[in-house]
Structure 1
Amino acid sequence: MEHLAMLYLSNNYLSGKIHNQWRDLPSLGIIDLSGNNLQGEIPSSICSLPALFWLKLSSNNLSGEISFAFQNCKGLTMLDLGENRFYANIPKYTGKDFLSLSELRIRAKMFSGNIPEQLCSLTHLHILDLALNNLSGSIPSCLGKLGALNSLISYSPYKPSRSDLYGPQMQMETEMELEMEMKKEMELSNNLQGEIPELITDLSTLGTLNLSHNRLTGKIPEKIGSLQRLETLDLSCNHLSDPIPLTMSSMTSLNSLNLSFNNLSGPIPSVNQFLTFNDPSIYEGNPELCGPPLATKCLMPNDRDADGNQHVKTHKDEDENENLGFYLGMALGLAFRCYELMMMNLNRLRRMMGAEHN
């Protein structure tokens, strides 16, 4: 089948290894073997296909290292290897050689190590999904410079239509042919540490940002409100602190929010989009947060002033009592001393009078 252009065998019960005879398919540009039970390593010959640009091998039992298997797949625009059994670090050459990548998904695997800064060179990247691995270290701040995530150029990934798969007779079934615009995503749920880089807020066209289930500290960046196209934000299960930035109230596209299980404090914003977030579970696990939809009420300024004045008054009363006791003690001491001096003088006077009488 030397003129074969697309190979779709997804969501079957195929098992065994991926064969190694790919060199005789010079026209093959799309391979989808996802959702099977394929095992073993990925053959390096798969990258010998000159027309290959779309490769999906997710949801199998593939294993081994990928550092050598994909080094020659330089023409890929989409690579999905998620939910397999690969291990080792993310190859640094991914950001050096795969400069055409628009979509990189390596979710739910056994990758470890740091996120390589070389990924910041993928200027066409619209989707970066590294979630549910064991990646550590900090979030590279240069990810905030990914050009495609700060551009109005939309990303519509190739999706097979009925006419592609079954011929032009299915052309009328438009529901299978509509190519929905893919949202721009960054999914980094791992074991990452440090603070959320301020530069992440420069990704002005980002639609989904998921940094949950890490060990991030510090505060939510104040400029996060500049992510005006963000629809989904998940920062749950971290160690973030300080109040929720008021700039988030301007994120009118936001329809899914999760800030639970952090160390956030202060009142929950109560304007604009926050009025629609009525589920208290998205804020739970932050004992110092207050205000609707939580049951914990925030103290009003007058209440705080009253408490403060009462606090000052209490201390003032205590100070006055201490001063009164001090001065009273001094007065009694002086009175007793004066009485002693008076008695001494009186006795001396009596002795003098007695001596004169004699």
Structure 2
Amino acid sequence: MTRKIPVSFGELVSLYAVDLSENMWEGVITEAHLKNLSSLRELSIGQLRPNVSVVFNISSDWMPSFKLVYIKIQACQLGPNFPTWLRNQTELKTIVLNYARITDVIPDWFLNMGLELKELDVAYNQLRGKIPNSLCFSSGSNVDLSSNFFEGPLPLWSTNLTTLYLRDNQFSGPIPSNIGTALPSLTDLDISKNKLNGTIPLSIGNLTELTTLVISNNRLSGNIPQFWENIPMLYILDMSNNSLSGTIPDSIGSILFLKFLILSSNNLSGELPSSLRNCTRLNSLDIGDNQFSGKIPVWIGENMPSLLILRLRNNSFTGNIPSEICRLSQLHILDISKNNLFGFIPPCVGNLSGFQTEFTSDDAARYEGGLRLIAKGRIIQYSSSQLYLVNSIDLSSNDLSGEIPSELASLFRLGTLNLSMNHLGGRIPSAFGKLESLETLDLSKNQLSGPIPTTLVSLTFLNHLNLSYNKLSGKIPSGNQFQTLIDPSIYMGNNALCGFPLLVECDSEIPPLPGQNNGDIDDNNDLEKVWFFSFVGLGFFTGFWAICGSLILKKQWRDAYFQFVERVTARICVYLHIKFSRMGLI
């Protein structure tokens, strides 16, 4: 239920703390709501989500009678200007003004107030300009300036900082070489989505309390340093989307609490270090879009039972898909596409019970930068808030052969299945009709044959289908979701297919019996053929030896048989001679 904050609220002169957060407030807040709250020390107003329905309309020259130590205004329209009525709040320790629609610079009067802050959070606004190093912070303080337009070099304020979030801004230049000594107490550092360049400074190895290091989506280059044994508590390491080169250092295997290792979209190469098997608590191993080589290590399946995401796409891995991957029962995303893998798809992949459940939102939220996946025929960037919806298997663009295991049909929560651009043969399993959550099915550019199973019509969530360039035949199924899949390119390159949406009409055919699909008819026909040829062969064998065997064993029967043949042959010759004489042919 939504509520407006009454103006009479401002008459509560003895009020010390106000917490109106996490509700569905609406309306306009003016000076009248706050004018007589002279005892107020803590003010918290916020929404459940960033859907602004509360607007602050306070005069720029108004001076409140209270002295706040704590202010938290979230998902309300406080801007567009930085609130000038805070300029006499000289006792502030906590300032949280996020999702507040402020499109301004941080004013000089605020920087010169001499505040010693415990928390500064102005994330998700449109603040701009440079941030000076003059801000002061108390011990164990937290700063979040994420998702603004701040620029210039990274600020290094105080040795007291424990968390520093500067992601999604326009900070540039190198990461300061002394960051490890200037901010020695850091536990969380997120400077992703900026314009930082240069190499990763060795002083980061001095941040011995660090638990989160996210430096992705910058322009960093050079090798990954060898200092990870000094950061034993790290559990999120994200260096993706940079230009890092070289190999993964062995010392990364010393981070025993590591849960998220994300190194995708760099220029890293070599084989995965065997020391990585020590990271037994990994939830995500994402090294896609690099130049890694060698075989997929079997210890991934043996030593990492908690993996939710395994993403090795677009590398140069060779060999078979190890069956040990089937031990990763909690997997929700398996992407090993665009490698040089060969052999069969292990049928035991159908035992991955993670594809029968959903991500918890907590698991997905840890994936700070989201994830790029191929789904619905295109690259989709899933944010961390969307990732819990994803269940995906992508084995495309390899050299896999053999038949598609029907066991995959047991993964009934699977949303995306991409097996395209391989050498898979045989038929499309009719059991795929059980994949009730499937939205994307891409089996294109293989060597699949036979009809399209009519059971696929039951996939009511299917919105992207690609069966092109195979050897499929027969009539395209109709009904349900197939009525919306009207792009002929879905089926191109299958010369023996007919029916809508192709222009090729099907020949008249005997309709299947009620409750019987094409797969059932084909199976019955195959069984009938087996019995037919079995009886024909048995009859031939019996008749042949009944006659020829008796002639071989009995001389009297053999002599009588050949005498009979001679008499019949002589009579036929005499008859033909007389017949042809009468006709004048002899």
Shorter-chain TM range is 0.7 to 0.9
The separation in 2 between residues aligned to 1:193 and 1:339, in whole angstroms, is 70
Structure 2 counterparts to residues 258-337 of structure 1, below 5 A: 258-301=466-509, 337=581
Q: TM-score, normalised by structure 2?
A: 0.49
- Is residue 443 of structure 2 the alignment partner of residue 232 of structure 1? no
* Unaligned segments of structure 1, at least 5 residues: 163-175, 303-332, 342-358
| Per-residue CA distance 1:298-357 (angstroms, 9 max, x = gap) | 12339xxxxxxxxxxxxxxxxxxxxxxxxxxxxxx998754669xxxxxxxxxxxxxxxx
Which of 35, 39, 42 is matched with 2:241 structurally? 35
User: Are the equivalent residues in 2 in contact too, given 1:104–1:128 (CA < 8 A)?
Assistant: yes
The code of the aligned residue for 2:255 comes to L
- Go from structure 1 to structure 2 and tell me whether the alpha carbon gap of 1:179 and 1:293 turns closer, same or farther (over 3 Å shift): closer
How many residues align structurally? 300
- Go from structure 1 to structure 2 and tell me whether the alpha carbon gap of 1:245 and 1:115 turns closer, same or farther (over 3 Å shift): same
- Go from structure 1 to structure 2 and tell me whether the alpha carbon gap of 1:180 and 1:41 turns closer, same or farther (over 3 Å shift): closer
> 1:255 maps to which residue?
463
The separation in 1 between residues aligned to 2:366 and 2:453, in whole angstroms, is 39
SS at match of 2:219: coil
CA RMSD of aligned residues (A): 2.4
User: Are the equivalent residues in 2 in contact too, given 1:42–1:69 (CA < 8 A)?
Assistant: no
Which of 321, 327, 343 is matched with 1:121 structurally? 327
| Per-residue CA distance 1:170-201 (angstroms, 9 max, x = gap) | xxxxxx88454231111111110000011111
- Go from structure 1 to structure 2 and tell me whether the alpha carbon gap of 1:41 and 1:161 turns closer, same or farther (over 3 Å shift): closer
- Is residue 208 of structure 2 the alignment partner of residue 2 of structure 1? yes
The code of the aligned residue for 1:228 comes to E
Q: What is the deviation of 1:47?
A: 2.3
Which stretches of structure 1, 4 residues or longer, exceed 3 Å deviation after superposition? 151-156, 159-162, 176-180, 333-341
The separation in 1 between residues aligned to 2:237 and 2:307, in whole angstroms, is 16
User: Are the equivalent residues in 1 in contact too, given 2:262–2:285 (CA < 8 A)?
Assistant: yes
Which of 217, 232, 236 is matched with 2:425 structurally? 217
> 1:173 maps to which residue?
none
Q: What is the deviation of 1:296?
A: 1.0
- Go from structure 1 to structure 2 and tell me whether the alpha carbon gap of 1:291 and 1:24 turns closer, same or farther (over 3 Å shift): same
Q: What is the deviation of 1:28?
A: 1.8
Q: What is the deviation of 1:159?
A: 4.3
> 1:246 maps to which residue?
454
> 2:96 maps to which residue?
none
User: Are the equivalent residues in 1 in contact too, given 2:359–2:388 (CA < 8 A)?
Assistant: no
- Go from structure 1 to structure 2 and tell me whether the alpha carbon gap of 1:339 and 1:262 turns closer, same or farther (over 3 Å shift): closer
The separation in 1 between residues aligned to 2:312 and 2:462, in whole angstroms, is 26
Structure 2 counterparts to residues 1-358 of structure 1, below 5 A: 1-151=207-357, 156-159=363-366, 178-189=385-396, 190-301=398-509, 337-338=581-582
- Go from structure 1 to structure 2 and tell me whether the alpha carbon gap of 1:180 and 1:104 turns closer, same or farther (over 3 Å shift): closer
> 1:318 maps to which residue?
none
User: Are the equivalent residues in 2 in contact too, given 1:202–1:226 (CA < 8 A)?
Assistant: yes
- Go from structure 1 to structure 2 and tell me whether the alpha carbon gap of 1:194 and 1:335 turns closer, same or farther (over 3 Å shift): same
The separation in 2 between residues aligned to 1:159 and 1:340, in whole angstroms, is 105
User: Are the equivalent residues in 2 in contact too, given 1:107–1:129 (CA < 8 A)?
Assistant: yes
User: Are the equivalent residues in 2 in contact too, given 1:43–1:69 (CA < 8 A)?
Assistant: no
User: Are the equivalent residues in 1 in contact too, given 2:283–2:308 (CA < 8 A)?
Assistant: yes
The separation in 2 between residues aligned to 1:160 and 1:186, in whole angstroms, is 18
- Go from structure 1 to structure 2 and tell me whether the alpha carbon gap of 1:154 and 1:251 turns closer, same or farther (over 3 Å shift): farther
The code of the aligned residue for 1:135 comes to L
SS at match of 1:157: helix
**Structure number with higher helix proportion:** 1
> 1:307 maps to which residue?
none
User: Are the equivalent residues in 2 in contact too, given 1:88–1:110 (CA < 8 A)?
Assistant: yes
Point out the more displaced range, 65-74 or 12-21. 65-74
> 2:3 maps to which residue?
none
**Structure number with higher strand proportion:** 2
* Unaligned segments of structure 2, at least 5 residues: 1-206, 370-382, 511-576
Point out the more displaced range, 148-157 or 62-71. 148-157
The separation in 2 between residues aligned to 1:153 and 1:334, in whole angstroms, is 96
The separation in 2 between residues aligned to 1:35 and 1:101, in whole angstroms, is 22
User: Are the equivalent residues in 1 in contact too, given 2:249–2:273 (CA < 8 A)?
Assistant: no
Q: TM-score, normalised by structure 1?
A: 0.79
The code of the aligned residue for 1:195 comes to E
- Go from structure 1 to structure 2 and tell me whether the alpha carbon gap of 1:100 and 1:249 turns closer, same or farther (over 3 Å shift): same
SS at match of 1:71: helix
> 2:145 maps to which residue?
none
- Go from structure 1 to structure 2 and tell me whether the alpha carbon gap of 1:293 and 1:339 turns closer, same or farther (over 3 Å shift): closer
The separation in 2 between residues aligned to 1:339 and 1:103, in whole angstroms, is 93
The code of the aligned residue for 2:476 comes to I
The separation in 1 between residues aligned to 2:437 and 2:256, in whole angstroms, is 37
The separation in 1 between residues aligned to 2:407 and 2:333, in whole angstroms, is 17
User: Are the equivalent residues in 1 in contact too, given 2:358–2:388 (CA < 8 A)?
Assistant: no
Q: Percent identity?
A: 48
SS at match of 2:452: coil
The separation in 1 between residues aligned to 2:348 and 2:304, in whole angstroms, is 17
The code of the aligned residue for 1:61 comes to N
The separation in 2 between residues aligned to 1:14 and 1:122, in whole angstroms, is 33
The separation in 2 between residues aligned to 1:261 and 1:99, in whole angstroms, is 37
| Per-residue CA distance 1:121-144 (angstroms, 9 max, x = gap) | 111111111000000000001111
| Per-residue CA distance 1:81-127 (angstroms, 9 max, x = gap) | 01111110000111000111111000000000000000101111111
SS at match of 1:192: strand
The code of the aligned residue for 2:495 comes to P
SS at match of 1:112: strand
The separation in 1 between residues aligned to 2:270 and 2:239, in whole angstroms, is 17
The separation in 1 between residues aligned to 2:495 and 2:386, in whole angstroms, is 44
Q: What is the deviation of 1:152?
A: 5.4
